[in-house]
Structure 1
Amino acid sequence: MTTKQFKLVEDYVRSIIENPSKAWDVPIGNKVIKDDYYATASYSQLSKQLGVSTQVLQGLTAAADLYNPLMKKLNDLLKKEGVLVKHQIASALEVRRNAINWWKSLTLEDKKNLTTFGNSISFTRYIKNWRGGENYEILNEVKDQLNQEMVELGLLKNDYVKVKDRDALRDKSFLPNQQESKKRWEELGQLPLESVVDLVVPTEDTEPFVQLKQLAAALQQTVSSKSAKDNFRDGFNHFCNFLKKNRINENELLQNILDEFSLKRFKEDYVLPALDSSEMSPSSAPTIISVIRGCLRRAKSIKGLGFHGFYDVEMTTRGRTGNYYKPYSPKEREAISAAIMSDINATKQMLTPYRKTGLGQNPIDNNGYIKLGMSTLDNARYLFENELNCQPVFYHTAKSAPEKAFLSIVHGSDTGLHDLYKTWGILPIVDINVLAPFLLRLAQITGMNADPLCDLTLDDFLLEHPATGKPCLRYWKERSTGEKELHLDLFQAKLQWLTRKQSKEVQDIFETVKLLTASLRDDAPEELKNVLFIYKSSGQNSYGVVKTICSAKLSHVYSNFVSKHQLQDDNGETMSFSISRFRPTFVSELVEAGVSIREIQLLLGHSNIETTMNYLDRLDFNRIARQKLKETLENIHKKVITPTQKGANKHSKERELIIFSTPLGGCSNLFSPPDFIKNSSLYVAGQPCSQYNKCLTCDNVMLIAEHLPMLFAMKRDYMILMQRNRIMETPYGIVIEENLAVLDEILNPKKSDFSEEELDKGERLSQFEQTAYVDWMAA
């Protein structure tokens, strides 16, 4: 580095120190080592400008002691003049710098001729990269500042209201409340949060879940863009809704809200159903999961909270708006099933004991070397059967002379070691590609998603659940302390109910996978010993390490599977293959088989039948719908041309028949009771029978907790009837309203004599009540 070059840099820095306004001419670049400042003077741009190498300016040469102080002075001045701002990234600051310099260069006449839109300068027209950074709060501040100057010049309106805000302004409290909310987030974010004693104490005056909000607000302070800040507010609101649905008290302490399964439950019980019912967009879900994951990680660092870790999950919605909801076609299903079963059958065959063939002869001489001309695969087989005890050996494990000779012969052949073992009917290693077909088959026959499948443990299949007698899969478990596994009843695990036909194949998969992985469990880490799908890595850097299949890393399994079996879609193109498409395919097969919506709801694990119906609406069921419509029209046509038989039901002339049922029986016509009711003083002509369903309001009725599932099922069916039919516009609507009012007195936690725990259990058990208490039937 010459003295002349050093003087160039020194003079440049001095000129800016003497005239600080020139600080805005210094280009900004990324900072490698970030502290409170994420940006610095751009060494690459200054290098071009001054003709000095970037390495010299960065202090990476022998002249570092000369240049480092100069660049520090320069950056200190940029900070002082506001060119560099704490916690702001270089790209946003560079756009801001260009905008300010551009504005300074304009004359009054220039400003009068600026293009505006929506009472704002069209910055994208004049400032490079403005659109890419317009979500950053610091750019919005510049935007507001320059637009305000335009207002003061009379070039923009002072009382302009954006179209999207006009409806909100009709509510005069909207803007004050919005500003108050933003201020509150800032206040909470600036509070210390090192220890549990720093958490705001919940009271009747604090907002719901205030400690959780404080946690999210603390993280919000670490981001600068408006969109990133909004993400934390959205994530917090969604998590609050999740907690409310699970009846968590709004003033509950943070340590009682969070546990190791919080993120897993949030995804399974809230995010996925919200996606299925279109209440959440696929593009938002990964961001929301990421926000809550960040909150949980931050919670681990709070001293005294007692929150030490959580089970992480991935949220991938790539393709969710496209092929994710598209079932495989019948032709594609057939090809996939054939491929999966061929792999499974091939693996099962290799589980049978190896039979010696007696081929070959000993190719090793007395000195341990291979005899000339004896390097044949038959002789390698002789070594395998007579010297290696029929046990596979690998290149990194070979020690003895026979082992090394065996591998030398194989290496010199055209056949790979693993492929050779397979042709001999031997399974060389239980890697991820061996287990993948079993995982895919399980997804195919149950419709379960990848996450719960990967989390299955050895005892998660029950041929008969003790509470229902039905076969099921328990697909993730709760532990009280992270150490001791709890005994599971109906409500302590997520359950995937299975038909008897499903259960036989699921049982076979479990037994086969247990057999395949039995030898791996001794070498597996303690936390993986009970996981169903574990395998030995065949990767170069982790060969032999026991791992578990991770749903987020299945993409290469999909591509290998498609490539191996040359799977194509109906258009002859490479198939878009993933486990996520098995769920809609599973539902498609149920619909084709004429399975009821209630049964589909149960098999999918949806707590609300509306979620199931919305899910069906989004699936690609045009082909099925057309077929069902054709069959229905044919049935209607047959009924029209078929003469009415003698002894037909006396109600067949009615357009519709409604059966109202109670635990005591059913009534097919509330408006035409028997004569002994008509003759009573309580009967009013033209109104429904006043004696119907009065037992529940009687003082003598004896209701116990065992009746609650049935009553919740009755309420559910009334609600479905109201949503899916126009019955409320008929006289029967009065009857339904009366019955719902009676049920509300029994089932509403604020009115009921039953405890919240009993009501909660009854409502969950009502899922398994198959009877419909109200039937709306076409005659």
Structure 2
Amino acid sequence: MAKTIKMYHESGLAKILPKPTTEDPYAQLKFIFNRVANLKISKSTKENFKTALSFYINTYLPKTHNFDSKLENNKLFFLNEQWDKFALHNVEKYFKKYNVEGSKTRLSSFTVTSHMSAIRQVMEYALFHQLTKDENLLQAGVGLPIKETEQNTAYSDFEVNEINRMLKEELEFTSKLLSKKGYQKTGIGRDPRIKPCMKGFPRGSVHPEGFGWKETDNMRWYFENVMDCEALSGVPENKIKHNNFFHNVTRCYKGGLPALYRAWGVTSLIDADVLMPFAMKLALYTGMNPDSLWDLTADCFQEKHPLSNVPYIKYFKQRSLGHKEMHLNIYDKNVAIRELKENEANVIRTIFKQIIELTAAVRERAPKELKSFLFIYEVSSNNNYGVVSRINIKVTSEWCKRKLIRYNLRSQNDKRLQLNIVRFRSTKISQMVKEGYDFFEIQSRCGHKSIAQTLRYISKNNLEINARKIIRTALTYIHENRAWQLQEQPEYALEHTSSNKTVIYKGIIADCRNVLDPPKEVQMLKGYQKGEVCTRYNMCLFCKNVVILTLHLPLLIVYKNQIVNAIKNMPIELPTIKHYKKSLSIIEEILDPEKSEFSKEDLEWAHSAAECMNELTDTVVYRPIL
């Protein structure tokens, strides 16, 4: 609920407004949409209003009944009953709830933006002519349209650096606002009200000693010595008292009063420009989607969760229709990841603290329904100057557009960067994948119900690059150890085998060169004690000690089939779907006649033998033979 539009106008339009009937229940909607369309000149613009009307009548109302139970049984639509101050907000709510990825009726972002624009104009026209229920209309927005292929694409490292460059400079200004020292007098300039003797100089010329209002230093002198370093807003009472200051700032300084105040490190309002850098940084660090971000409350960050004892964020995810928790800094045995999590939690903690400090005065005078929200700001537009409102997608889109131009943000191919907060979500997920976060921790962080949903968000290039690297390393180990086995011909280890003898250890899907030296992933598991025998057969394919012989091939085929069936039938219940997919890639390469180190005859025998096997491998009951 951003700004509130208020309009008053005596009109006779209500006298010619048709009454809805059983045969034509939407007569008033058709009348008002066509009325506004006929005011437009362009044929394509007129068509936009017609398609928006069709959407409103044929899609929006049948699906939602305007979120009014009365319309379910009685379709007669009266503007002065149904179009209250939430009328536009209800349409926005429809798009957020139903226009989701994967739905059959999903509209492109361009179509959604076009519909919202047309519906907004029609509602404001009806409001102006006093045809609506309320005297104001709560604004809503769905953001700027973007190419659908780019909507959920992760930013590259280069692009993230570009965004961080912009945020760093923007946050330097807010750090001045938060400085405990406050504004410090500079003592520069002179009183601009002094008019020097200009004898010998052409009329209208600037005095060489820097007198007058055209000198920025003199404006600073007036600000420090007359305005007492208080960044006064340009409301009428202030303009009367300091007329020359406000008049000359607007006339002589590029960017006007906001730009001048910003250059001095002060502000008259805690507006969107002050808060948006924090919002962008929070989105980058959390991967939270915009809807959840704008719904955050001032008390949503908590230092200790009752169960996990770590910092967490309480938030609302509209598509999941419920409250969720984002746990931060969960303990990890991997030192590098643990440090990443600790740093992340500290950054997020600081962001919340700074936002609350900046908005303290705004929150005190905010309407009751807005006080609890985290991202509230003061509107800087002339029509609603100083009105307290919430940041929404429309405000975000406009801010992004301005910063793109100001900082000339570029993509990796030197094109204009598409700055969209929605893409921060897939960017964060891709970063977590590259940094080695556990797959299910990523799923939990995103608040996804299923693994499949998480997989759709992961940037395929980043994930595939990491997966290919792991698979390539595993195949190298398999090749080297097979060559070693063929050359050394080691025996299987038994209880009485001499420790000086070269041996291998019996396994299920593969044999092992050293069961006391499991891979890193096994050593990091909870409960593992150094020097213990490895029992994790499902990690063998990734182990540097793996030895695969011809006799293992049938069971590898059985194992492969079990993985394929599990992924196909129960993807949500797999412990680590990513791990098994990589296992599948390794097995397929081992069994591929074009790539395999085993002969065609061995592979044919293995497939025949596998048809007679139906063994289940169990890591609990299985122990290697020593």
TM-score range, shorter chain: 0.5 to 0.7
Q: What is the CA distance between 1:281 and its match in structure 2?
A: 6.0
What is the alpha-carbon distance in structure 2 between the residues aligned to residue 321 and residue 774 of structure 1? 50
Give the counterpart letter for 1:731 in structure 2.
N
| Alignment partner, residue 218 of structure 1 | 73
Aligned counterparts, 1:255-294, within 5 A: 275=101, 278=102, 282-283=106-107
Aligned counterparts, 1:239-250, within 5 A: none
Closer, same or farther: CA 35–596 of 1 in aligned 2, 3 Å: same
Closer, same or farther: CA 405–330 of 1 in aligned 2, 3 Å: same
Aligned counterparts, 1:654-693, within 5 A: 654=510
What is the alpha-carbon distance in structure 1 between the residues aligned to residue 105 and residue 430 of structure 2? 23
2:223 counterpart of 1:384:
yes
Closer, same or farther: CA 654–576 of 1 in aligned 2, 3 Å: same
Query: Is contact 1:513-1:532 (8 Å) kept?
Result: yes
| Alignment partner, residue 33 of structure 1 | 17
Name the stretch that deviates more: 629-638 or 324-333: 629-638
Closer, same or farther: CA 527–648 of 1 in aligned 2, 3 Å: farther
Closer, same or farther: CA 715–221 of 1 in aligned 2, 3 Å: same
Name the stretch that deviates more: 466-475 or 503-512: 466-475
What is the alpha-carbon distance in structure 2 between the residues aligned to residue 360 and residue 410 of structure 1? 15
| Alignment partner, residue 304 of structure 2 | 464
2:151 counterpart of 1:344:
no
Say which SS state the counterpart of residue 495 (structure 1) adopts: strand
| Alignment partner, residue 377 of structure 2 | 535
Aligned counterparts, 1:137-216, within 5 A: none
What is the alpha-carbon distance in structure 1 between the residues aligned to residue 403 and residue 169 of structure 2? 12
| Alignment partner, residue 156 of structure 2 | 329
Aligned counterparts, 1:265-664, within 5 A: 275=101, 278=102, 282-283=106-107, 318-319=145-146, 321-352=148-179, 353-364=182-193, 373-375=211-213, 376-399=215-238, 403-415=242-254, 416-476=256-316, 493-499=323-329, 500-616=342-458, 619=459, 621-622=460-461, 624-626=463-465, 628-642=467-481, 643=484, 650-651=506-507, 654=510
TM-score by length of 2: 0.55
Closer, same or farther: CA 334–263 of 1 in aligned 2, 3 Å: same
Deviations 1:365-418 (A, max 9, x none): 79xxxxx95434333322222222110123325449873343344345334222
Among 555, 573, 580, the residue aligned to 1:716 = 573
What is the alpha-carbon distance in structure 2 between the residues aligned to residue 774 and residue 540 of structure 1? 75
What is the alpha-carbon distance in structure 2 between the residues aligned to residue 409 and residue 328 of structure 1? 43
Query: Is contact 1:714-1:773 (8 Å) kept?
Result: no
Closer, same or farther: CA 221–649 of 1 in aligned 2, 3 Å: farther
What is the alpha-carbon distance in structure 1 between the residues aligned to residue 315 and residue 244 of structure 2? 47
Deviations 1:729-761 (A, max 9, x none): 97356x99xxxxxxxxxxxxxxxxxxxxxxxxx
Query: Is contact 1:717-1:773 (8 Å) kept?
Result: no
Query: Is contact 1:717-1:774 (8 Å) kept?
Result: no
What is the alpha-carbon distance in structure 1 between the residues aligned to residue 171 and residue 379 of structure 2? 19
| Alignment partner, residue 133 of structure 2 | none
Structure 1: gaps of 5 or more residues: 1-30, 39-84, 93-128, 137-185, 194-211, 224-261, 291-310, 367-371, 479-490, 671-712, 737-771
What is the alpha-carbon distance in structure 2 between the residues aligned to residue 557 and residue 219 of structure 1? 43
Deviations 1:72-127 (A, max 9, x none): xxxxxxxxxxxxx53477999xxxxxxxxxxxxxxxxxxxxxxxxxxxxxxxxxxx
Query: Is contact 1:458-1:514 (8 Å) kept?
Result: yes
What is the alpha-carbon distance in structure 1 between the residues aligned to residue 218 and residue 146 of structure 2? 52
Q: Percent identity?
A: 24
What is the alpha-carbon distance in structure 1 between the residues aligned to residue 176 and residue 620 of structure 2? 52
Closer, same or farther: CA 506–773 of 1 in aligned 2, 3 Å: farther
Q: What is the CA distance between 1:421 and its match in structure 2?
A: 1.8
Query: Is contact 2:272-2:391 (8 Å) kept?
Result: yes
Closer, same or farther: CA 722–335 of 1 in aligned 2, 3 Å: closer
Closer, same or farther: CA 470–573 of 1 in aligned 2, 3 Å: same
Say which SS state the counterpart of residue 535 (structure 1) adopts: strand
What is the alpha-carbon distance in structure 1 between the residues aligned to residue 322 and residue 478 of structure 2? 49
Give the counterpart letter for 1:86 in structure 2.
D
Size of the aligned set, in residue pairs, is 423
Q: What is the CA distance between 1:638 and its match in structure 2?
A: 4.0
Give the counterpart letter for 1:35 in structure 2.
K
What is the alpha-carbon distance in structure 1 between the residues aligned to residue 144 and residue 103 of structure 2? 15
Closer, same or farther: CA 411–595 of 1 in aligned 2, 3 Å: closer
2:70 counterpart of 1:86:
no
Q: What is the CA distance between 1:447 and its match in structure 2?
A: 0.9
Q: What is the CA distance between 1:279 and its match in structure 2?
A: 5.8
Ranked by relative contact order (alpha carbons within 8 Å, sequence separation 6 or more), the top structure is 2
Query: Is contact 1:282-1:317 (8 Å) kept?
Result: no
| Alignment partner, residue 560 of structure 2 | none
What is the alpha-carbon distance in structure 2 between the residues aligned to residue 315 and residue 379 of structure 1? 44
Say which SS state the counterpart of residue 242 (structure 2) adopts: helix
Q: Max radius of gyration: which structure?
A: 1
Q: What is the CA distance between 1:631 and its match in structure 2?
A: 4.7
Closer, same or farther: CA 469–648 of 1 in aligned 2, 3 Å: farther
TM-score by length of 1: 0.45
What is the alpha-carbon distance in structure 2 between the residues aligned to residue 611 and residue 732 of structure 1? 32
Say which SS state the counterpart of residue 527 (structure 1) adopts: coil
Give the counterpart letter for 2:189 in structure 1.
G
Q: What is the CA distance between 1:601 and its match in structure 2?
A: 0.7
RMSD over aligned CA atoms reads: 5.3
| Alignment partner, residue 614 of structure 2 | 731
